[in-house]
Amino acid sequence: MNAVQKLYDTSVDLLSLLEKDASSEGRDQFIQEIESYLQVREEMMKMINPPYTPEQKDIGSKLIELNKKINLHLAGLKKEIQVDLRKLNNNKISKKKYQDAYQPDTISGLFYDKRN
């Protein structure tokens, strides 16, 4: 099996993984699996060198389409993570505002007499 075919097979596996819906509880494991596939793909891409056979060119055109789908899924996953991070930050801010509302201000209510 040549390097282009291995890259194609790895890309298909990655796409099938990305098409699964990752819950927020298992997202860390899901992202680690994606990162491992991406690292393997990166190493395989380094091993591919021209000249290409007609078979490799055919697989390469299929790979281009797969990469477009993979990029769309990765962008969607990134957006989901950004939304979750924004929600988490907003929750932290609102919780802090609620807690600080009941803390006594030590500065307010003080009176300094300048005459003494």
Q: What is the pLDDT of residues 6-43, one digit of tens each?
A: 999 999 999 999 998 777 778 889 999 999 999 999 99
| Contact yes or no for 66/12 (Cβ under 8 A) | yes
| Contact yes or no for 11/66 (Cβ under 8 A) | yes
Q: Is 83 inside a domain boundary?
A: no
The pLDDT confidence band at residue 77, using thresholds 50, 70 and 90, is very high
Q: Is 89 inside a domain boundary?
A: no
106 pLDDT higher than 60: no
Boundaries of domain holding 42: 3-73
**Number of domains within the chain:** 1
pTM here is: 0.76
Q: Is 99 inside a domain boundary?
A: no
Predicted pLDDT of residue 105: 55
Predicted pLDDT of residue 104: 57
With 0-12 CB in 10 A as exposed, 13-18 as middle and 19+ as buried, what is 99? exposed
61 pLDDT higher than 60: yes
